Structure 1
Amino acid sequence: MLTVVVGPVPGERRGAVAALIADAVGTADAAGRLLDRSVAVTALWSDDVVAAACVSVDAECGKLRAMAVAEPFRGRGFGRALVDEVTEQLGLEALEAETDADSVGFYRSCGVSVESLGEKYPGVERFLATRHTTTTATEPARAGKTPP
């Protein structure tokens, strides 16, 4: 069963979450610093950490700083679950992520608009992915969701 937790990472799971985030940001030290100053989003499958993200929040806009899904679980909807849950649980009007060409397809599959930022670094085109929410007071709650 899939469980997505938005908030502080319990001590017993911090190592697993930091290891996933390190895959996205390059080093364990950078992952630890990011976890310390961001809202953590953790996907658990049968109590195992299978995906994680770090989000900074400014008013009602979130910035996805890093996201990673464990290799055996990629392509199964866990990344999308993180995007959906962080937006919903934090009540965000928008969620943004700066990304590379390899991740553009993922963000588009999540219903996110993507625009080129151009060649931000020599030889590297970057993109801004932005998801705007359009929830209303009459929209039904998403309780009882099934795992991806």
Structure 2
Amino acid sequence: MVEIKVEHIHPQLRELLSFATSKQKVEGIYQTYIQTDGRRLYGFMLEEDVIGCIGIELLGQNRCEIKHLAVMPNHRGKGIGSKMIRYIKDVHALSVIFAVTDIEAVNFYEKCGFKITSLGEKYPGIVRFRCILKV
């Protein structure tokens, strides 16, 4: 894992972030990570390739919110997402990690030990979930 702080976004990182948000928002989101003190963006490397990323917002009192988490499709199901969560937990000595996600990622967070609560239909036809892990 490496913290990403460079001014220009790597093409693989751009693709990863587009899995976690819309393609139109990637550049702005990336700049927020680069320019905001409480935000951190980490890349999971395999040789020279960025195959996963996790972006967090540190909230004080050993807490953070996972803002973005993505793994390249051909590397999913290999434990990379959970390794990234363990990494940020250890590096930042976190006691609480939370995320808000959609139905597609709920099982992943549940397998990682997060408690899941439905937030209901946040947008028309789209149910969102709060995921909380107390370490």
Global fold match (TM > 0.5): yes
Q: Secondary structure in 1 aligned to 2:4?
A: coil
Gaps of at least 5 residues in structure 2 are: none
Query: What does residue range 1-148 of structure 1 map to in structure 2 within 5 Å?
Result: 4-5=1-2, 7-10=3-6, 14-27=10-23, 28-36=26-34, 37=36, 38-59=39-60, 60-133=62-135
Residue type of the alignment partner of 1:76: K
TM-score (norm 1): 0.79
Report % sequence identity.
23
Q: Secondary structure in 2 aligned to 1:131?
A: strand
**Cα shift readout 1:58-91 (whole Å, capped 9, x = no counterpart):** 1111111111100110111111111111111111
TM-score (norm 2): 0.85
Question: Distance in 2 between the 1:111 and 1:13 partners?
Answer: 32
Residue type of the alignment partner of 1:67: L
Distance 1:9 1:17, change over 3 A: farther
- Would you identify which runs of 4 or more consecutive aligned residues in structure 1 move more than 3 Å? 8-15
Distance 1:45 1:15, change over 3 A: same
Residue type of the alignment partner of 2:70: A
Contact 1:22 1:30 in 2 (8 A): no
Contact 2:9 2:30 in 1 (8 A): no
Contact 2:120 2:128 in 1 (8 A): yes
Distance 1:131 1:66, change over 3 A: same
Q: CA deviation at 1:130?
A: 0.7
Could you say what the CA RMSD is over the residues aligned between the two structures, in angstroms? 1.8
Contact 2:40 2:55 in 1 (8 A): yes
Question: Distance in 2 between the 1:11 and 1:30 partners?
Answer: 12
Gaps of at least 5 residues in structure 1 are: 134-148
Q: Secondary structure in 1 aligned to 2:27?
A: helix
